[in-house]
Amino acid sequence: MSIKTLPPQLVNQIAAGEVVERPASVLKELIENSIDAGATQINITVEHGGIALMSVIDNGCGIHKHELGLALSRHATSKITTVSDLQAIQTMGFRGEALPSISSVSRLTLVSRVARSDTAWQVTADGSEREVEPCPASLQYGTMIEVRDLFYNVPARRKFLRAERTEFSHIQNLVRKLALSHFNIGFELTHNQREIFRLSPALDQVAEEQRVAGFLGKAFIDNALSLDFESAGMRLRGWIAVPTYSRSQADQQYFYINRRLVRDKLLTHAVRQAYQDVLFHGRFPVFVLYLEIDPAIVDVNAHPAKLEVRFRDSRSIHDFVVKAVKNALRSIRPETSLSQPPNDQAGQQDQPGKPVRSYAISESASDYELPNQNNLQLDFLSDHRQFKSNRSANNKSFQPHQHLIDDSTLDSDQSKPLNQHQQHENIPALGFAIAHLHNIYILSESANGLVLVDAHASHERIVYEKLKQQYERQDIAVQPLLLPVTIEVSQQDADRVEQQLSALNGVGLEIERIGPQQLLVRSVPVALEKLDVSGLVCDIIADLNQYDCSDRVEHLSQRILADMACRGAIRAGRRLTREEMNQLLRDMEKTDFSGQCNHGRPTWIELDKDALDKLFLRGQ
């Protein structure tokens, strides 16, 4: 069989197999070209799901008359000129193969007009790469590209397209994702002569949040934390939802690198790790995040559709994202958080009710001294208020025929509602305890309304955070193995572990490579000494192969600490005194992640006065 040079049209159609998967992938290339051209307004018109027509009109810099024909030839681009440009790509597109690939499977018309030009110029293409002669046309400054009859000349590809509604849903999702990363650009989308949406440029924070709310729902913004974290030449900004606002699937997770949407397992893993002990099991966080890094340390040319990337130092990127997201979640305090009843974990609708805001208090977590953890029970100190000492020595036990509020736990001052003057004093965010309901829930009166607190879940989080801080402050206790464990692995896995030995030693796991395919484990963290060492190392290797990093040891250690905290927390059914309840509320206000217990369940909710009025139809 002889070797032949393929004809240009066939070459382009083969290339189109990588670039053009469906109508949405065509629009992705065209819109990204408009973005690179500096457009501030992009109008997209679609007919029959994009199969019949896709039109993109922008107000960008345009293409000169003598370059129109060149734009339709393979590997012709204005975005890179040297190898160094390819190593630090700052544009959305760069390969110069989109237009010839698209024109090889459709009927394409390109019209463009540059500034100070008297007229626009038009060329048409069908993928044959024949020479084209521009002809005059009518257009405002910018570029218009029309793509008609997609796959008209490749029937085998056309028959694999989905229904019109399905294809248009992909287009709609695509435009949404691009609009979420380019707030400075206005977008207009029309399908079958019907306007789907019209977005003006979002030039400030409020306008950006309105655009995000338009796509992800107002409930997301109402339940989101604004994040902006910068370190070591990297910046992560955007919005992450509070843990109580979660989804049953990972369908509202948007991650952008230098404004390019990516699907990256490393980044997803980093966000999941940051949420790991505040999110209910089986739930997924919601976020829109933008990572800004030096283009030279990320390779965006790793995937034909440019959805996957590679990092020069993936570990540092991973740790940076974990730290940024954790810091944002740590900032949630009762005084700043949004609280509402959790979503039904059995699969009810994901959209929660309207959240309730608390107000700010002046105390900070850095002012909080941790008590000696040898005693896991609360070290009850004095409350913000001075309580009277004439309290009955024995509390009455709850009986069905008694009042829900046990009068013996109330004094004459604390049982009275907060008056108007007190509401403007320095009242703590979680207020002051009124009663212990069913020996489980603390009922507290706050400046806004009332607060219900799960005493066990709250104390569990408090104890857990104390244990974590103690664990992190000291050098990790290491237990040498009486008999070192030898593990047989592949040479590739042994190489991978050898590259990460310093990181593994840092978490108390001492491993030595003793052969091409042999590892020797000499010691493990004390907290993990009873675990299967071989299984642990194999799991770590699997993480290293998939994410180039592993938090397996840290995760297992924290799981053990969480179990200790659960056992050490006050139990449901134990009657708390007023001082104990108020001290628990004060400790919650000073504890990281106090809105959820170690298992991701909420620890408290607040109903403000407006919500209470609605329950009883007051003012209606």
| Local confidence band at 451 (pLDDT 50, 70, 90 cut-offs) | very high
Q: Answer yes or no: do 229 and 86 share one domain.
A: no
Q: Answer yes or no: do 173 and 311 share one domain.
A: no
Q: For residue 144, tell me if it sits in a domain.
A: yes
User: Does residue 291 contact residue 255 with C-beta atoms inside 8 Å?
Assistant: yes
CA distances from 610 to 192, 219, 437, 450, 520 (A): 45, 18, 23, 11, 64
Q: For residue 571, tell me if it sits in a domain.
A: yes
The whole-number pLDDT of residue 265 equals 87
Q: For residue 493, tell me if it sits in a domain.
A: yes
CB contact set of 118 (below 8 Å; sequence gap of 6+): none
The whole-number pLDDT of residue 155 equals 85
CA distances from 387 to 384, 407, 415, 436 (A): 9, 15, 12, 17
Kindly report the CATH number assigned to the domain that includes residue 435: 3.30.1370.100
Place of tokens 């287009």: 171
In the chain, the number of structural domains is: 3
Q: Answer yes or no: do 125 and 40 share one domain.
A: yes
Q: Answer yes or no: do 289 and 190 share one domain.
A: no
How far, in Å, CA of 104 to CA of 285, rounded? 41
Q: Answer yes or no: do 170 and 215 share one domain.
A: no
Q: For residue 318, tell me if it sits in a domain.
A: yes
SS3 15: helix
The whole-number pLDDT of residue 544 equals 79
Question: Using N-to-C axis directions, what is the helix angle for 533-547 and 265-274, rounded to 10°?
Answer: 130
The overall average pLDDT reported for the chain is 79
Kindly report the CATH number assigned to the domain that includes residue 156: 3.30.565.10
Angle formed at CA 61 by CA 60 and CA 66, multiple of 5 degrees: 130
| Strand pairing report for 253-257 and 287-292 | parallel
Q: For residue 222, tell me if it sits in a domain.
A: yes
Give me the percent of the chain exceeding a pLDDT of 70. Answer: 77
Q: For residue 212, tell me if it sits in a domain.
A: yes
Q: Answer yes or no: do 330 and 215 share one domain.
A: yes
pLDDT tens for residues 28-84?
999 999 999 999 999 999 999 999 999 999 999 999 998 888 888 877 777 766 766
The whole-number pLDDT of residue 387 equals 32
How far, in Å, CA of 170 to CA of 176, rounded? 10
Here the tokens at position 285 are 């966080």
Q: Answer yes or no: do 188 and 231 share one domain.
A: no
- End-to-end CA distance of the chain: give it in Å, rounded: 87
The whole-number pLDDT of residue 235 equals 96
Domain residues for the domain of 137 are 8-199
Here the tokens at position 614 are 């609605």
Q: For residue 424, tell me if it sits in a domain.
A: no
Kindly report the CATH number assigned to the domain that includes residue 316: 3.30.230.10
Q: Which of 150, 165, 199 is the last residue of a domain?
A: 199
The whole-number pLDDT of residue 411 equals 43
Of the listed ranges 322-331, 410-419, 438-447, 588-597, the least confidently predicted one is 410-419
Q: How many CA atoms lie within 13 A of 157 on its CB side?
A: 20
The whole-number pLDDT of residue 355 equals 36
Q: Answer yes or no: do 188 and 278 share one domain.
A: no
The whole-number pLDDT of residue 292 equals 95
The whole-number pLDDT of residue 370 equals 29
pLDDT tens for residues 177-191?
999 999 999 999 999
Q: Which of 339, 356, 377 is the last residue of a domain?
A: 339
Q: For residue 389, tell me if it sits in a domain.
A: no
Q: Answer yes or no: do 99 and 192 share one domain.
A: yes
pLDDT tens for residues 344-370?
333 333 333 333 332 222 222 223 232
Q: Answer yes or no: do 72 and 174 share one domain.
A: yes
Q: Answer yes or no: do 270 and 194 share one domain.
A: no
Q: Is the pLDDT of residue 86 over 60?
A: yes
Q: Answer yes or no: do 183 and 228 share one domain.
A: no
Q: Which of 309, 339, 369 is the last residue of a domain?
A: 339
Here the tokens at position 405 are 């509020």
